[in-house]
Structure 1
């Protein structure tokens, strides 16, 4: 008989929340197919079910399933950078993380929020003065602190946390890539002196002062455009390298930011839309000679990308790499990102699961197309471990309980935790393939070649 026990494989979960844009989020509803503008009694809005309620319910469920999970909020709480919407968005998040249905409320240190370029009030009380000035983010930090939401990343030294998982864990740094929000403005072509508008005025006899109306309602945006200048400050890059250079190999570095480390898939013709020094940031990460998990929002798309960092001395098939995960807008859903460790505490890989709104329903569910990015190298197996692999190869398809029972009959026997850790390592290194959802207990999981 095989004695079943606690899993030898551990994981640290991050719930990654993308751009909130509270102005549109608060009233967002599921779609109603309505082509009749005379719908009685606003029936279409009554049938459209509120998305914030579904998102909150799903987040509470996932937090209860993963006690100790980190909550990573990727910025852009607002759309126009006004204080009222920032407060409303922060209150929604704080209320969700204090929901009475939570078994355990997430610790404040486990909740990280980075500011987005839309969170800065360009025309109000947070004007840009320099890339070194972070005091203008104090008003945002105070709002978060008052609501009990967690930590707002305004500078690196305030947002460093270690999340242990036994002898392993995550080392999380949250950085402010929005220091340059509002750093420059440019005149729009023609400003309010638009030829088309002039033609329209002439057509109606010049009786309407269109230019005056534009100036009254949009005195600045009609003649100028505020530009975002995203960057990862070189001083913060230096601090990151210093902090992670001595980090135990059993800890996975995680960097949380608003802007992406790579150019987005959709072509961007406007200036300053991508991170100004992304290449410099990638170069600094390569010097670490270890894999890094980079989480961000901003682009409103769910994208998982991997950048390998090969070295001349590498003899193993797996190099250090950056796993870059973008979250969608929160009104679409959120990501569950899990870092999996073996029994010795070494990171095996990163799993990304998508939780998305179901069209036409007030529910959020996990989509089946999860993504797994390996960090495992091909293991050196003992004689008995090779026999377990040979047994799986001979069978072609095998259950976890069968592997455990076979290993228990070897001389010397392999215990159940040791077999599970071995099989998980074989899966992440590509020698076996799991044929069951990740949440399935080891004994009930099917494995294929």
Structure 2
């Protein structure tokens, strides 16, 4: 699956190119050949991955636009659909594309209406207009992604219930202050609009019903499916101190507790903070909750690979970050591996211990050496069982596999205690 962070159009379209342009008379055509805008480079790479049929699903973390501008959201939806050829009637129409709402997608005028759902209506209308799937509003959306014997259950959630909530004005001042605010907004001064946007609370929250639905879904879902939860906001506070009222999820603790007590490993994908930490949480004796943040779309994206056992159980997750290097080249970074098998671990008929014992003794070997020395421990499906052992040991950080992205014949395995 491909995880795309906050898009923020139109501001992302104005991001400076990775050139130090001192000469403003330099040929525009030549400059465009030398250096593309970052957002275009990112989406061109993603499109090539879709064309190569390397992707089972694309997940967008919200914030398609800036400051709740509906025309910006429409433009963002159209850009995603056209640049990646997603949605009905397009080349990659069969590729699943899941989208969640972000705080910057919320029109502040609509947020003032009594209906809590009015602010989401135009967003779904914009997505429908370009043939993309709806965002979740009152109910989470569940989609099953991947082949039948290796499936992820993707749960799209709305974390923006309180975004755009109007600051409460005490009754003693409401009659005089309220009309003054409305009059200032009606004048249309951009500075006033920006100031008002900042005064409306950006209160991210999940609804109680959606949390209950998530817990119920996790309990009923087959163990053979990997649960992937997607929402805009981070469950943990960001690393850099944030000085703003109500900008962290107000009920993140309830969601974290529910996910960590679900009795299964869970991937939680989000955006919002524009950085890309991977954080693993668990309670004593419990399974892992892996929180994966996407960088802003103009800075790159993440590939999330889920590897399944031969019997169809989730085994490990690989996070492959794609970001720009210092020269402005978009490239894949270091692979991060997390175990997903949890309490379902099997002994592989004792073969796992024998494989690890051999690797500890050899310290370093090629894949062919491993097959020759340890293949005798398995009666059937030797290569597949050996690879499963290697994946398990990698997830435990017991071994390192060089050239992992190449064919198995190129693997160099190194054990460590």
Tell me which interval the TM-score lies in, with the shorter structure as reference length: 0.7 to 0.9
Alignment of 1:398-437 (within 5 A): 398-409=365-376, 412=379, 415-437=382-404
Q: Cα RMSD between the aligned structures? A: 2.9
SS of the equivalent of 1:294 reads strand
CA contact (8 A) 1:67 1:104 kept: no
Aligned to 1:182, the other structure's residue is in SS state strand
- Find the counterpart in structure 2 of residue 322 from structure 1: 289
Show CA shifts across 1:320-353 (max 9, x none): 1210011111111111111222222222222111
| 2:52 is equivalent to residue 87 of structure 1 | no
Residue from 161, 169, 176 that aligns with 1:179: 161
**Aligned position for 1:342:** 309
Could you tell me which residue of structure 2 aligns to residue 203 of structure 1?
Answer: none
Alignment CA distance shift 1:85-1:411 (3 Å): closer
SS in 2 for 1:181: strand
The answer to whether the 8 Å contact 1:68/1:106 transfers is no
Question: Which structure would you say has the larger Rg?
Answer: 1
The CA deviation at 1:106 is 5.0
Given that 2:306 and 2:314 are in contact with CA atoms closer than 8 Å, whether structure 1 keeps it comes out as yes
- Indicate which of 2, 18, 24 corresponds to 1:39: 24
Count of residues in correspondence between the two structures: 392
Partner of 2:103: 117
1:127-146 correspondence runs (5 A): 127-129=111-113, 133-146=116-129
For 2:17, what is the secondary structure of its paired residue? coil
Taking the TM superposition and a 5 Å limit, the aligned residue runs for 1:285-364 are 285-310=259-284, 314=285, 319-361=286-328, 363-364=329-330
For residue 164 of structure 2, give the secondary structure of its aligned residue in structure 1.
coil
Structure 1 residues not aligned, in runs of 5+: 1-13, 188-210
- Name the structure with the higher helix share: 2
Q: CA 1:15/1:120 → structure 2, altered by over 3 Å: closer, same or farther?
A: same
Aligned-pair CA distance for 1:407: 3.7
Aligned to 1:50: 37
| Distance in 2 of aligned mates of 1:220 and 1:411 | 69
Gaps of 5+ in 2: 170-183
TM-score w.r.t. length of structure 2: 0.85
CA deviations 1:97-141 (Å, max 9, x no partner) are: 218xxx971526x21111111111113xx23446x7324312111
Structure 1 residues 186, 79: closer, same or farther in 2, change over 3 A?
farther
Bigger shift: residues 174-183 or 352-361: 352-361
TM-score, normalising length: structure 1: 0.79
Distance 1:219 1:62, change over 3 A: same
Q: Distance in 2 between matches of 1:220 and 1:387?
A: 67
Classify 1:59/1:184 alpha carbon distance in 2 versus 1 (closer, same or farther; 3 Å). same
Whole-angstrom distance in 1 between the partners of 2:355 and 2:195: 70
Q: Return closer, same or farther for 1:144/1:220 CA change in 2, 3 Å cut-off.
A: closer
The 2-side partners of 1:411 and 1:357 are apart by: 44
State how far apart, in whole Å, the 1-side matches of 2:378 and 2:311 are.
Answer: 22
